[in-house]
């Protein structure tokens, strides 16, 4: 690829989706150095017009040829599209930042949260994977603790927003909530998993299923958290357990995280110091003043918020945290753009 002093030719694949739209907004907000932007989507969306930095941009169909001349392609159009088109983009000289599960566990593909393992980007062969939303915010909080005290085990229960299942799921929550308040019958069609056999109401409910079930009884979302966390932290043997639950709110995931550290000397005060100093992490923890993060308070922000830090009452080196972040930003669009920024800053496009 040719480095352009005027900026880069950037493509967004899945430009009309919940994450794609946040990618476009984040590129604008960050004043990302762009010479040309290609907004790509399915044939159905081609021809629509979207504003980018105040100018109308026509959405084009995501075809292999659309990647000619592209420097950086941000993918968020589902795993099968990434499987098909990411190699085509790489073949044409682009570096792909892929926000699907297609390549995350591929040993050849770096899986990156810049605050945690940006050096892994260097080893890329054209594709860098963006981790699952619920993984990103957890590892951002775990990393400063790992660095200072080591990690012995992690158990997480999640509280996840519907927007993680796309704009159709957010629409379903909205419509269903209104129907519920009107005393009408609920007719679930999307959640917990679009296209799966059964659907449950999400309005005023909680669904202990995110993504499809695996043979071992865990959902794919739970296995993503377990496997991706180990890969990103370079701790293949770290015991990680996850229970993932979909809840009736629109944006931001929250996580109840239990962790045990390896070294002695950790305390709530020391953990607070670590989080205060950690990049991309904001400490919001003052029980005396009822201060802690919530999904609504984290919405629209790029940081990972940590609160409710407590020492376990029985396990000397055990601690509990409450971790909240906007699943569409740090959990998806912002982490992808941040990877792209890191690539540029470090000259890692190659």
The reply to whether 234 belongs to the active site is no
Q: Is 149 in the site for a copy of itself (CB under 8 A)?
A: no
**What would you report as the CA-atom Rg of the chain, rounded to the nearest whole angstrom?**
20
d(CA 98, CA 111): 9
The reply to whether 133 belongs to the active site is yes
Contact stretch for a copy of itself (CB under 8 A) within 8-16, 48-56, 62-70, 172-180: 172-180
Give the DSSP letter of residue 301: -
For a copy of itself, the closer of residues 279 and 287 by Cβ is 287
Q: Is 197 in the site for a copy of itself (CB under 8 A)?
A: yes
Contact stretch for a copy of itself (CB under 8 A) within 52-60, 63-71, 107-115, 312-320: 312-320
Q: Is 331 in the site for a copy of itself (CB under 8 A)?
A: no
Q: Establish whether 163 is an annotated binding residue.
A: yes
Question: Which of 8, 52, 67, 218 lies at the binding interface for a copy of itself (CB under 8 A)?
Answer: 218
For a copy of itself, the closer of residues 16 and 163 by Cβ is 163
Q: Residue 170: CB partners within 8 Å, gap ≥ 6?
A: 18, 162, 163, 250
**DSSP assignment string, 65-112:** GGGTT-SEEEE-S-HHHHHHHHHHHHHTTPEEEE-SSSSTT-TTS-B-
Quick check: helix, strand or coil at residue 309? Answer: strand
Q: Is 275 in the site for a copy of itself (CB under 8 A)?
A: no
d(CA 343, CA 350): 9
Give per-residue burial for 179-204: e unless 16+ CB within 10 Å, then b: ebeeeeebebebbbbeeeeebebbbe
d(CA 284, CA 288): 12
Contact between 224 and 104 (Cβ < 8 Å): yes
- Count the residues in the chain: 350
Q: Is 205 in the site for a copy of itself (CB under 8 A)?
A: yes
Minimum distance from residue 319 beta carbon to a copy of itself (Å): 10
Catalytic: which of 9, 124, 133, 199?
133
Question: Which residue in 335, 268, 270 sits closest to 30, CA to CA?
Answer: 335
Question: Which of 70, 127, 190, 254 lies at the binding interface for a copy of itself (CB under 8 A)?
Answer: 254
Catalytic: which of 9, 124, 199, 253?
253
Question: Which of 56, 217, 265, 347 lies at the binding interface for a copy of itself (CB under 8 A)?
Answer: 217
Binding interface with a copy of itself (CB under 8 A): 153, 155, 157, 159, 174, 177-178, 181, 192, 196-198, 200-201, 204-209, 213, 216-218, 226, 239-241, 243, 245, 247-250, 254, 256, 258, 268, 287-292, 294-297, 307-315, 318, 320, 322
Which amino acids are annotated as binding site, given as ranges? 16-19, 44-45, 104, 160, 163-164, 246, 327
Q: Tell me which residues are annotated as active site.
A: 133, 253
């Amino acid at each position: 690829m040719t480095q352009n002093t005027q900026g880069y030719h950037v493509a967004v694949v899945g430009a009309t989706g919940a994450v794609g739209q946040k990618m476009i907004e984040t590129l604008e907000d960050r004043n990302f150095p762009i010479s040309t932007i290609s907004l790509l989507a399915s044939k159905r969306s081609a021809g629509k017009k979207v504003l980018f930095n105040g100018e109308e941009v026509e959405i084009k169909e995501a075809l292999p040829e659309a990647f000619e001349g592209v420097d950086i392609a941000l993918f968020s159009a589902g795993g099968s599209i990434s499987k098909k088109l990411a190699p085509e983009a790489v073949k044409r000289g682009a570096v792909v930042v892929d926000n699907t599960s297609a390549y995350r566990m591929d040993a050849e593909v770096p899986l990156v949260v810049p605050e945690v393992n940006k050096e892994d980007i260097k080893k890329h062969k054209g594709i860098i994977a963006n981790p699952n939303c619920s993984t990103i915010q957890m590892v951002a909080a775990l990393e400063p603790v790992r660095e200072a005290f080591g990690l012995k085990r992690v158990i997480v229960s999640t509280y996840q927003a519907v927007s993680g299942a796309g704009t159709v799921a957010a629409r379903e929550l909205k419509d269903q909530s209104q129907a519920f308040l009107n005393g009408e019958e609920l007719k679930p069609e999307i959640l917990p998993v679009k296209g799966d056999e059964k659907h449950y109401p999400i309005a005023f409910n909680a669904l202990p299923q995110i993504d499809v079930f695996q043979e071992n009884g865990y959902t794919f979302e739970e296995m993503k958290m377990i496997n991706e966390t180990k890969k990103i932290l370079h701790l293949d043997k770290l015991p990680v357990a996850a229970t993932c639950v979909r809840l009736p709110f629109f944006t931001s995931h929250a996580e109840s995280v239990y962790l045990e550290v390896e070294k002695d000397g950790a305390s709530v005060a020391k953990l607070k110091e670590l989080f205060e100093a950690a990049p991309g992490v904001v400490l919001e923890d003052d029980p005396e003043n009822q201060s802690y993060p919530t999904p609504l308070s984290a919405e629209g922000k790029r940081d990972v918020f940590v609160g409710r830090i407590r020492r376990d009452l029985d396990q000397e080196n055990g601690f509990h945290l409450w971790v909240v972040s906007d699943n569409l930003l740090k959990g998806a669009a912002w982490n992808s753009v941040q990877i792209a920024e890191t690539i540029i800053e470090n000259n890692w496009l190659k």
